[in-house]
Amino acid sequence: MNQGGYFIFSQEHPLTTALLTQNYWTCNEENERIHYNLTTYALEGERKVTWIVDGVIKYHRTMSSIINSLSNAGFIINKMLEPIPSKEIMNQYPSYKRYIHKPDFLLIKAKK
């Protein structure tokens, strides 16, 4: 990468990749998601999950590992986003309300 160039990427959010089990949500009596079951966040490494098919391998890293790796490689973070849907989208698609508990993606813009 050229000095002064940008590195812009998105990845699955570390809160999403943290779990070692697929028991992601606690629901109320009406089966509405009330909170995300965050576990094993600090344990980095391989995760095997079902994502369309069984046995998909992902690698979990904490937020500090992600940011420190960029910093150690000489990048400066310009912007970081953890997007959630707008109120209009959540009203139109009620299942999207789960994203107020936890974003699915992390977007980073860094400069070398």
pLDDT at residue 27 in the model: 92
Half-sphere exposure of 92 (CA within 13 A, CB side): 5
Give the tokens for residue 64.
């500090």
Residue 58 pLDDT > 80: yes
pLDDT at residue 1 in the model: 60
Give the tokens for residue 67.
């940011």
- How many angstroms separate the CA atoms of 90 and 85, rounded? 6
**Nearest to residue 97, comparing CAs of 27, 48, 40?**
27
pLDDT band at 15 (very low <50, low <70, confident <90, very high): very high
Residue 101 pLDDT > 70: yes
Give mean pLDDT, residues 50-73.
95
Give the tokens for residue 48.
């095997």
